[in-house]
């Protein structure tokens, strides 16, 4: 039996089979989400207030942090609601919006990683022309291109997915509404939709990863020509941070979206949804742990804050 109307929406099973695990995950999710908000907000704030960070790299990093904040906020409230009580439902409209926003933000983040790889390539391969090439208008155009690619992915995939004939039980073995889980809910032939999603996933994984690897090919050649040991270490640290984010993001996306019905994604797909929390959490931590400029800016702000508090104590 199939039912296209779904007046009652969908049921997100989540961890219903392990009720004792739900409360543990609830508090873990709250903790991770709080850290995500603090760290990504700190990156955005530091990039805005410190003139030393008014560079293309930190402009792109602050935009990536904003995308991560939106990505987490799109997923976490529904996950907390699912884990807190017996109500596991989500409305049809809510599911559509969640899928639409998730696709848009996920594709935007993927393209932003390509943009950041291009920025690293220019900074290392053409250091003398860096400020001329990576001028503010170009930076804004690259960020706008990333958002337009995300919007294109969303408006292309979402309508096709929700036109499929879903089975009447409308139960999703997941914490969130995601296209792979929705395709598994279809009663009928899903070959066309699977091929469309696979092509889209390849377009937004293979092509960006290919561009990133090409950029790092040029970077590897340029590193051999850098005579300064300090300059080489700084370049390697920046590239290592970026590559770590690329591996985390694209590894998870490829696992879940490239083949909707592969055994690993079908069996453990619900736990891969935590990439909507783990990746936004780790991105700013990776950059702040390995980046002396960000740590220096944070220390300067803390010292200023401490001196202001000291003066206030003397006055009063």
Residue 309 lies in a domain: no
Confidence (pLDDT) at 145 = 95
In this structure, is residue 4 part of a structural domain?
no
Secondary structure (3-state) at 91: coil
168: pLDDT strictly greater than 80: no
Integer Cα distance of 229 and 233 in angstroms: 6
Q: Which residue has the higher pLDDT, 148 or 222?
A: 148
pLDDT at 54: 85
Higher pLDDT, 213 or 20: 213
Does residue 246 carry a pLDDT above 80?
yes
Residue 275 reports pLDDT greater than 90? no
**Which residue segment(s) compose the domain that 34 sits in?**
16-296
Instruction: Check residues 254 and 49 and name the one with the higher pLDDT.
Output: 49
Phi-psi region of 265 (alpha: psi -120 to 50; beta: other; left: phi over 0): alpha
In a domain, 7, yes or no: no
Q: How confident is the model at residue 262 (pLDDT cuts 50, 70, 90)?
A: low
Could you tell me if residue 233 is inside a domain? Answer: yes
User: pLDDT tens digit string along 53-103?
Assistant: 788 988 998 999 999 999 889 888 888 888 887 778 888 888 889 999 988
CB atoms under 10 Å from CB of 261, counted, come to 11
| Confidence class for position 271, pLDDT limits 50, 70, 90 | low
pLDDT of 108 above 90: yes
* C-beta of residue 109 within 8 angstroms of C-beta of residue 71: yes
Out of 43-47, 127-131, 311-315, least confident range: 311-315
What is the mean predicted confidence (pLDDT) over 186-195?
72
pLDDT at 160 over 90: no
Task: Examine residue 208 and state whether it is found in any structural domain, yes or no.
Answer: yes
Kindly give the interhelix angle for 191-203 and 206-223, rounded to the nearest 10 degrees: 20
Q: Give me the CATH number covering residue 246.
A: 1.20.1070.10
Residue 232 — pLDDT band, cuts 50, 70, 90? Answer: confident
11 in any annotated domain: no
Region 276-285: mean pLDDT is 79
Query: By C-alpha distance, which of 181, 188, 199, 205 is closest to 260?
Result: 181
pLDDT for 128 beyond 90: no
Task: Reply yes or no on whether the pLDDT at 227 is more than 90.
Answer: no
Could you tell me how many residues make up the chain? 316
pLDDT of residue 113: 92
Domain count, the chain: 1
How many whole angstroms separate alpha carbon 12 and alpha carbon 15? 9
Give the other-Cβ count within 10 Å of 307's Cβ. 10
pTM listed for this prediction: 0.83
Residue 196 falls within a domain, yes or no?
yes
Question: Does the residue 314 lie in any domain?
Answer: no
Residue-level pLDDT at 183: 80
Q: Is 2 helix (H, G, I), strand (E, B) or coil?
A: strand
pLDDT (mean) for 139-145: 95
Q: What is the pLDDT of residue 181?
A: 81
pLDDT of residue 22: 80
- Strand residue runs (E) in the chain: 10-12, 89-90, 171-172
CA gap 150, 111 in Å, rounded: 8
């Amino acid at each position: 039996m199939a039912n296209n109307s779904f007046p009652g929406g969908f049921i997100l099973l989540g961890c219903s089979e392990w009720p004792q695990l739900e409360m543990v995950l609830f508090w873990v999710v709250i903790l991770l989400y709080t850290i995500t908000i603090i760290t990504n907000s700190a990156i955005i704030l530091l990039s805005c207030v410190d003139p030393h960070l008014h560079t293309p790299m930190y402009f792109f990093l602050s935009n990536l942090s904003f995308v991560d904040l939106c990505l987490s906020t799109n997923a976490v409230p529904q996950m907390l609601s699912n884990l807190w009580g017996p109500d596991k439902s989500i409305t049809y409209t809510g599911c559509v919006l969640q899928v639409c926003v998730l696709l848009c933000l996920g594709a935007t983040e993927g393209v932003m990683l390509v943009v950041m790889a291009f920025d690293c390539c220019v900074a290392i391969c053409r250091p003398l022309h860096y400020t001329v090439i990576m001028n503010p208008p170009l930076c804004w155009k690259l960020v706008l291109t990333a958002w337009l690619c995300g919007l294109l992915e969303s408006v292309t995939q979402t309508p096709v997915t929700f036109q499929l004939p879903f089975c009447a039980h409308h139960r999703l073995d997941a914490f969130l509404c995601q296209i792979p889980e929705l395709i598994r809910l279809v009663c009928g032939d899903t070959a066309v939709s699977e091929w469309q999603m696979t092509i889209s996933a390849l377009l937004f994984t293979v092509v960006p990863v290919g561009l990133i690897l090409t950029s790092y090919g040029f970077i590897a050649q340029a590193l051999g020509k850098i005579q300064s040991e300090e300059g080489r270490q700084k370049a390697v640290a920046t590239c290592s941070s970026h590559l770590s984010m690329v591996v985390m993001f694209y590894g998870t996306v490829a696992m879940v979206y490239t083949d909707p019905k592969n055994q690993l994604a079908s069996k453990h797909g619900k736990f891969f949804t935590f990439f909507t929390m783990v990746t936004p959490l780790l991105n700013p931590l990776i950059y702040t742990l390995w980046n002396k400029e960000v740590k220096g800016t944070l220390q300067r702000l803390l010292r200023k804050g401490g001196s202001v508090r000291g003066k206030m104590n003397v006055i009063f």
